[in-house]
Amino acid sequence: MSASHVPVLLDRVVALLAPALDHEGAVLVDCTLGLGGHSEAVLERCPRARVVGIDRDTAALELAGRRLTPYGERFTGVHAVYDEVLDVLHDLELAHADAVLFDLGVSSMQLDVRERGFAYSVDAPLDMRMDGTTGPTAADVLNTYSAGELTRVLRDYGEEKFARKIAGAVVRERETEPFATSGRLVELLYAEIPAPARRTGGHPAKRTFQALRMEVNDELAVLRRAMPAAIDAIGVGGRVVVESYHSLEDRLVKQAFTAVTRSTVPVDLPFVPEGQEPPLRLVTRGAEKADESEIAANPRAASVRLRAVERVHPGTNRSSTSRKEPRR
């Protein structure tokens, strides 16, 4: 694999997962299978474990499936969205998972395939759907959202300072011709973002493309449902490990983990009564980051935030225990 295809913090992620997978028949649910880099490492280094790989991208499932063929029945690929983790386990007749992994954001494969429209460096159709079989595209968002809705998307998901200015220009320009390709959008961004701002913070299209991708794929809403579902999925000794690359993603993960690891016993009580212990404990101290050497070798690692929790009691979670309704 090229450097762009090497999973971020791979060794650390496997080290965090391994204690939960060190028994016969252990199950890892890799909720963001992608090209299968994490799954391959786990299958290689945790020989008693099996992996259930979830991805909404059918192309990723096909590629990862071919890559992981040597592991035979130890790997199962499932076409689903990762907030459906409980449904996936139920359908496979698995009572629980021993570990659940999320490597959030866009995959290297999606960026590399021009026709997917995720990359601003090449002119391509404005698609950006992780599941290319369903849902609105980035072009649909640009051509149908009001100026206010576009401003919200660019500001909240892209942290774009010029969100209102860009949104106004999009609405104005689409009256002449609807947006269809990334090249035209990039040209608009160069025209609307002032030159001093274009010289700092990376490519001027980076924030807008990130925001559109997150809106098209409903990423924050899916993550908000997925965190409690993943926590519910693990048994005692099980772990949930999450790599996030956006401040809003990391905030949701932190909030979900805090809710199930924080004690509700009054601070002045000298002991924790039996049955009142938090059901999970934090494994990482805050959010772990990549070091300078990894960032130099793999620039995607610069924004990673890694968190992990472990279930220590079988008690009721403070998360939603209901499964999603099956997709129709």
Query: Above 90 in pLDDT, residue 270?
Result: no
Q: In this structure, is residue 125 part of a structural domain?
A: no
Q: 93 and 139 share a domain?
A: no
Q: Is position 105 annotated in a ligand binding site?
A: no
Give the pLDDT of residue 134. 83
Q: In this structure, is residue 328 part of a structural domain?
A: no
Q: In this structure, is residue 318 part of a structural domain?
A: no
Q: How far is the C-alpha of 320 from the C-alpha of 156, rounded, in Å?
A: 26
pLDDT band for position 113 (cuts 50, 70, 90): low
Cβ atoms of 29 and 76 within 8 Å: the answer is: no
Query: Above 70 in pLDDT, residue 285?
Result: yes
Give the pLDDT of residue 273. 58
What are the structure tokens assigned to 227, written together? 């965190």
Q: What is the pLDDT of residues 237-264, one digit of tens each?
A: 999 999 999 999 999 999 999 999 987 6
Query: Above 50 in pLDDT, residue 328?
Result: no
More confident residue, 120 or 170: 170
Contacts of residue 229, Cβ cutoff 8 Å, sequence gap at least 6: 83, 84, 85, 86, 319, 320, 323, 324
Q: In this structure, is residue 17 part of a structural domain?
A: yes
Q: 303 and 172 share a domain?
A: no
DSSP state of 7: P
Q: 200 and 258 share a domain?
A: no
- Using a 10 angstrom Cβ sphere, with 0-12 exposed, 13-18 middle and 19 or more buried, the burial of residue 182 is buried
The CA-to-CA distance between both ends of the chain, in Å, stands at: 37
Q: Is position 82 annotated in a ligand binding site?
A: yes
Query: Above 50 in pLDDT, residue 307?
Result: yes
Q: What is the pLDDT of residues 58-70, one digit of tens each?
A: 988 999 999 999 9
Give the pLDDT of residue 119. 66
Give the pLDDT of residue 197. 81
What are the structure tokens assigned to 298, written together? 């793999």
Q: 149 and 238 share a domain?
A: no
Its sign, for the CA torsion 282, 287, 293, 298, is positive
Contacts of residue 287, Cβ cutoff 8 Å, sequence gap at least 6: 250, 254, 305, 306, 307
Its sign, for the CA torsion 69, 101, 55, 92, is positive
Q: In this structure, is residue 288 part of a structural domain?
A: yes
Query: Above 90 in pLDDT, residue 38?
Result: yes
The rounded percent of the chain whose pLDDT value lies above 90 is 72
More confident residue, 269 or 42: 42
More confident residue, 139 or 117: 139
Q: Is position 103 annotated in a ligand binding site?
A: yes
Cβ atoms of 78 and 52 within 8 Å: the answer is: yes
Q: Is position 131 annotated in a ligand binding site?
A: no
Query: Above 70 in pLDDT, residue 26?
Result: yes
Query: Above 90 in pLDDT, residue 272?
Result: no
Q: What is the CATH number of the domain that holds 204?
A: 1.10.150.170
Cβ atoms of 61 and 83 within 8 Å: the answer is: no
Q: In this structure, is residue 115 part of a structural domain?
A: no
More confident residue, 76 or 273: 76
Distance, CA of 307 to chain centre: 13
Q: How far is the C-alpha of 325 from the C-alpha of 191, rounded, in Å?
A: 45
Q: 175 and 304 share a domain?
A: no
Containing structural domain, residue 16:
3-109+219-311
Cβ atoms of 132 and 113 within 8 Å: the answer is: no
Cβ atoms of 306 and 13 within 8 Å: the answer is: yes
Q: Is position 112 annotated in a ligand binding site?
A: no
Give the pLDDT of residue 13. 98
Q: 104 and 239 share a domain?
A: yes
Q: What is the CATH number of the domain that holds 225?
A: 3.40.50.150
Q: What is the pLDDT of residues 166-222, one digit of tens each?
A: 999 999 999 999 999 999 999 999 999 998 887 776 788 889 999 999 999 999 999
Closest to 78 (Cα-Cα) out of 118, 131, 41, 7: 131
Q: 156 and 138 share a domain?
A: yes
The per-residue pLDDT of the chain, averaged, comes to 88
Give the pLDDT of residue 49. 98
Give the pLDDT of residue 45. 98
Q: 202 and 236 share a domain?
A: no
Give the pLDDT of residue 3. 43
Quote the longest CA-to-CA distance of the chain: 70
Total number of domains in the chain: 2
pLDDT band for position 316 (cuts 50, 70, 90): low
Q: In this structure, is residue 326 part of a structural domain?
A: no
Q: 195 and 50 share a domain?
A: no
Q: How far is the C-alpha of 224 from the C-alpha of 249, rounded, in Å?
A: 9
Of 157, 182, 216, the one marking the end of a domain is: 216
pLDDT band for position 152 (cuts 50, 70, 90): very high
Q: 17 and 164 share a domain?
A: no
pLDDT band for position 325 (cuts 50, 70, 90): very low
Q: Taking residues 265-285, what's their average pLDDT?
A: 73
Q: 230 and 272 share a domain?
A: yes
More confident residue, 317 or 36: 36
Q: In this structure, is residue 186 part of a structural domain?
A: yes
Helix locations, the chain, DSSP H = 10-17, 37-45, 58-67, 85-91, 108-112, 138-144, 147-158, 163-174, 182-192, 195-198, 206-216, 219-233, 247-261, 292-297
Of 216, 237, 262, the one marking the end of a domain is: 216
